[in-house]
Structure 1
Amino acid sequence: MTREVKGDPVGKVVVGVSGSLGSMTALHRAVGEAQVRDAEVWAVLAWQVPNGTLGSRVLLDVSLSERCRADAVGRLREAIGTAFGGRGPGMRLSGIAVRGTPGAALVHTADDPDDLLVLGTGVRSAVRRLVRPSVAHYCLAHAACPVLTVPPSPLQAEHDTMHRRNTWRAPLDLRELAPSRTREEADGSSDLDV
């Protein structure tokens, strides 16, 4: 799936999409990288059958598997729609729902050395690291192509702060929401003599 553009091989730009703010930031960066490279974007959402490894390795219930796949496709469409609204990314973007763990699905999809794998990253708590291994670490260790990790959007920190505040039911000071103003702007005075 390699194309020749201006004498340079160009692969696809593969990006992991989960619907999180970090994955939305990565999706926008992937589109930017694809425009520079004149490449196609493949947005990948990994899915698994619930209840662990047995259900994900052995096809026990075809209808359950199809429902999970349909749900993943719906979440992927919603994430792409949320990221770009009704106008779209302005280029060809293929959405792919892949059955498997996120790291393995992304590495398998970005299998050409000319591809670029784009991932959103962020700060993870100790509990989350124990429960879920890092997709970025897996991809960095196993990818056959370059991997671009995108730090979280500045809005992510604000979102996390508000989430913690809501979780702990901390009161909100409305002055934090208003833009800061100087004394002169607030009372209309000025120290300048004209």
Structure 2
Amino acid sequence: MPTPSSVAALPWEPVNVYEGEEAVRKVVVGATGTPGSLAALHQAAAEARVRDAELWVVLAWQPPGGELGSRNGLGPAALAECRAAAVERLREVLDTAFGAVKPGVTLSGFTVRGTPGAALVDTARDPEDLLVVGTGSRTPLLRLVRPSVARYCLAHAACPVLAVPPSPLQAELESVHRRNAWRIPLDPRELAP
């Protein structure tokens, strides 16, 4: 076990407290497979290349019914199935994001049991890390029902947080989905530039 260094430093200077051990620089990003998540994943890969850091992709999962539901008789076999589904989902997300083309950095994927915000903040504990989160589109109803992971990370992270805004194309896609759901006909004048 390395011994602590006796080097005194100012509080704002990063210091490696173990002699002979280099801190692993990493860029941590959450992955869900949504368009905003994929945009954050690509931005995180670019940041990892620039910083010469490892890319850690985290997919948070919870058992059905959350932690309270797992206490009400959800056995180890069911929890193992949930974790296996999370691992498979992470593979799908990484395949969708990068396909056969590798991101150009060391890539590590993690499935973490817990809420997304807490899982990301716990993974990016070192002040030298960078946490990348997608902001997604936040309708008033969605804000009421589900808390913002980006806001949680900005409030609780011990490292810098990069919030990636949603693509303008995502807003147009959501508009088309709403139009289709309400069966509103398309106005041909909207197609003209």
Normalising by structure 2, report the TM-score.
0.82
Identify the range of structure 1 (153-162 vs 26-35) with the bigger mean alpha-carbon deviation.
153-162
Which of 88, 97, 106 is the matching residue for 1:92? 106
Which of 140, 144, 150 is the matching residue for 2:158? 144
Name stretches of at least 5 consecutive residues in structure 2 with no aligned partner.
1-15, 17-21
The letter for the 1-side match of 2:65 is N
Provide the residue aligned with 2:34 in structure 1: 20
Provide the residue aligned with 2:63 in structure 1: 49
The letter for the 1-side match of 2:53 is A
Normalising by structure 1, report the TM-score.
0.82
Greater C-alpha Rg: 1
Write out aligned runs for 1:7-156 (5 A). 11-56=25-70, 60-156=74-170
Taking structure 1 as reference, are residues 62 and 131 closer, same or farther at Cα in structure 2, changes over 3 Å only?
same
The letter for the 1-side match of 2:61 is W
The C-alpha deviation readout for 1:15-40, integer Å capped at 9, x for no partner, is: 01110000000000001100110000
2 CA distance for matches of 1:101 and 1:65? 15
Deviation at 1:102, TM superposition (A): 0.3
The C-alpha deviation readout for 1:100-135, integer Å capped at 9, x for no partner, is: 000000000001110000000033122211211111
Name stretches of at least 5 consecutive residues in structure 1 with no aligned partner.
3-7, 181-194
In the alignment of these two chains, the number of paired residues is 173
Counterpart secondary structure, 2:100? helix
Identify the range of structure 1 (148-157 vs 41-50) with the bigger mean alpha-carbon deviation.
148-157
1 CA distance for matches of 2:153 and 2:70? 21
- Regions of 4+ moved over 3 Å: 56-60, 173-177
RMSD after superposition:
2.0
Deviation at 1:53, TM superposition (A): 3.0
Deviation at 1:63, TM superposition (A): 1.0
Deviation at 1:151, TM superposition (A): 0.4
